[in-house]
Structure 1
Amino acid sequence: MLEIENLHAGYRRVRVLHDVTLSVATGEAVGVLGPNGAGKTTLLRAIAGICSVYGGSIVLAGQALDGKPDHERAALGVAHVPEGRRVWPSLTVEENLMMGAWRLPSAERKRELHQLLDYVIDHFPRLRERLQARAAVLSGGEQQMLAIGRALMSKPRLLLVDEPSIGLAPIMVEAVMEALRRLRQNQDLSIILVEQRTQELIDLCDRIYILSRGRMIDAGRKREMLTREAIEAAYFEGR
């Protein structure tokens, strides 16, 4: 469903990713591990169209994304949940969720809006009783659920989730990860998850890539074959 080949990306004159290749099948969850500064966030931004790409190709469902701006990629089914959540604090939970559906064609949005809202609330039941609360008063975990839910309102084919556990209490980390596990039941949704919590990533994803210093050093191994030595090598090499 997603094919990335020989990707070089970064920010202006700073090259962060070098010759990165990655694939994700329809309905598959793929994890990306690596030390801080390895380029994991840049990889998601390159797919979403919010950083510079200097070479290589990104193809989604047979359609090249090269040169397309972020809003066109979103319309094609790419939804990005950035690190730090970034919800609109002055809007209510419901208003934040509705904003996620703006990319849908108007007729489709009018027809399916409440169905999409129910779908999100089913996956994040904690938000049901908070629909009329301003996002600013939510806990960090609830804001993370809201950020993921807002992305789901756009009916994505590919969900990019960047470090969803950062700053959360352990009980909220488990709640967010459980919601992502439930999303795995949607066979039409593919997920790329960047996460520092190694065990949670391995438990949730079908395959794992290890990124270090902007290069893939372990390419898409099935989680059953991922060894502690491979993980440790990535982190030590990245220092």
Structure 2
Amino acid sequence: MKRMILLLSLGCLLTLSCAKRNTTIIGGSDQPTAIFVADHLTLQEKGLELTRQIHRLANNEAYIKYCSHSDEINKLAAHIARTDYSVPRKIFAISHLKSIQDFETDSTIRTLLADKMVRTIPSLINAQSGSNTLAVTSLFVTEDVFLHNSLKESTIYLYIYESDCSSMVLFQPHKDHIVQAYACFVIHPLLKTIHSTDDVKRFFKETIQLEGIMVQELTTTSKS
């Protein structure tokens, strides 16, 4: 059932993507042999694309007014919107998230719980900055489903910017090379102290007691 839902979701997203970008389809869309030819994006680029999407949400005043009547939350939303997300200061890929999944439970739901627990990581971090931060960041969340051949395990891409507001994109692989992506903002004062892979490990250990992770620093693209 889970696999069927993912395939249906992917089909809907790919159809919408083709309609918007006139992407080539080999074979008719109503034929079982139709092949989708997608624009190639690395996970790093995909994460930046999703970060731009949630930034557009933060800049949409009508959306903010519809969702919130709190002055404090609206001020935080404005703070998020003012941040320049064009080029990250640092980018890190974080994998081997096994320790957050290390618990005893019925084997029939272990995978489901493990997936859900990994998705709580941004909320656990944001909650430490207060209920208003948790509330406002929950407004700016997006997700996507796409095909990717090489992702083997759940991986977080952390995009560090100059302010205390960064973005976090979780990529979770499923069968048939299907990948689900979840993007949101994370706000925490310790984000400003991150400059190296060791700093990232220290950050996750101090904020959510997550240890044993693998961290890789990725190359950022400078502004031209």
TM-score normalized with structure 1 length:
0.20
Structure with higher strand content:
1
TM-score normalized with structure 2 length:
0.21
Larger radius of gyration: 2
Structure with higher helix content:
2
